[in-house]
Every structure is written in structure tokens, then in C-alpha cells.
Amino acid sequence: MIAINEISIADLTGLPKGGVLLRIDWHYSGDFIVGCIEGTDVAISLSGDNQFSVRPLNSCGGVIGLSAEGVELHVDPNSGTAMSPLVGSLGIAGKRTSICVREPGGWQGSMMDVDLNGGDVADNDRPVRFSKWSIVKRQADGSILPLFNFDVTPKDEVAAP
């Protein structure tokens, strides 16, 4: 559980890049993280039928949910690759963190990266992408509470039990 004094009710449009909204408003399905595509702030769906799709943040007014302090992104270093991106993979290049999403209005299978933190990327910075990653909440006592766990490893690459 999250301490009540570490959460607040927020409008999705008021969150900064990388801010996570846990849905409580029944009008909208899914949970969101805020990012940016070429100067336009967007909401990335983290769950539901439209997982890892985006919509312009300015069209999300009135989407209300819970926002928590101390939210962090964690990766499984063993899932890192410099190969082609997968929808839902978390990437780092230089100081920039991004999520690979379905391109809005693009052909089926088209993807694009959404910037989560505005970090700098040099021309020679090659991205590393992680297929296993989590959004966690660091508690006041230092413990970690997982909020979301993602594994976008292609099914044909998953090892047999």
C-alpha cells in the first residue's frame, strides 16, 4: 500500500514528463505516463486495450487519477539489447529515457519513441532497449512497491519452463 500522504488526486494534463497517473476515473480505461513527441506532450496508455498507444495530452483534460511521489522506472539489465525496438520497451540513449509506442495513425506495426525525461542525446549515443521493466514507488522507509511490471519479450524468445 501507499501512504495516503504520499499520493494526491491529479488531472492527467497537470503531470510533468514521466509522471504516472493511476486511473480512478471510470470514464477512461487504463493508467498513463506522460511523455513528449517532438515538442508535443502526450499521454501513454500503460494498460487496457490500447496499451502503449499515445494521445495528445491536451485532449486528456478531466482525466482524473492518483499521482504518487517517488515513482521510479526500473529495468531488468538482462533484458537489454541494442537491437530493433519492441512496442512497450523502455529505452535509454545518453541521458534520455523513452518508451517505444505504437505510432498514432501509422501503418500496423509502426513504432516511435516517446521521450519521458527530456534528457540530452548526442549523435553517437546508441539506444539500449529493455523488454522487462517496472514502474515502482519508493516508500518513505526505502522499500519498493511495484506498481506495474512489463515484459514485452517476443513470445518466440521466451525460454521454456
How large a percentage of the chain has pLDDT more than 70? 89
**What per-residue confidence (pLDDT) applies to 41?**
92
- Does the pLDDT at position 36 exceed 60? yes
Residue 160's pLDDT is: 44
Is 161 domain-assigned? Answer: no
* pLDDT number for residue 85: 82
Tell me: pLDDT of 53 over 60: yes
**Per the domain annotation, does 108 fall within a domain?**
yes
For the chain, give the percent of residues with pLDDT over 90. Answer: 36
Q: Within a domain: residue 106?
A: yes
Q: Which amino acid belongs to residue 121?
A: V
Name residue 17's amino acid. K
Whether residue 159 has pLDDT greater than 60: no
Cα(115)–Cα(99) distance, rounded to whole angstroms? Answer: 7
Given a cut of 70, whether residue 1 has pLDDT beyond it is yes
Task: Tell me what the mean pLDDT of segment 60-77 comes to.
Answer: 88
Domain assignment of residue 37, yes or no: yes
Within-domain flag for 94: yes
- pTM for the predicted model, two decimal places: 0.85
Domain coverage including residue 135: 4-151
pLDDT tens by residue, 85-119? 889 999 999 899 999 998 776 666 678 889 999 88
Cell of 62: 478531466
157 within a domain of the structure (yes/no) = no
Q: How many domains does the chain have?
A: 1
Is 109 in contact with 52 (CB distance < 8 Å)? no
User: What pLDDT shows up at residue 28?
Assistant: 60
Higher pLDDT, 159 or 34: 34
Whether residue 78 lies inside any domain: the answer is: yes
Question: What single-letter amino acid sits at 7?
Answer: I
The answer to whether position 160 is within a domain reads no
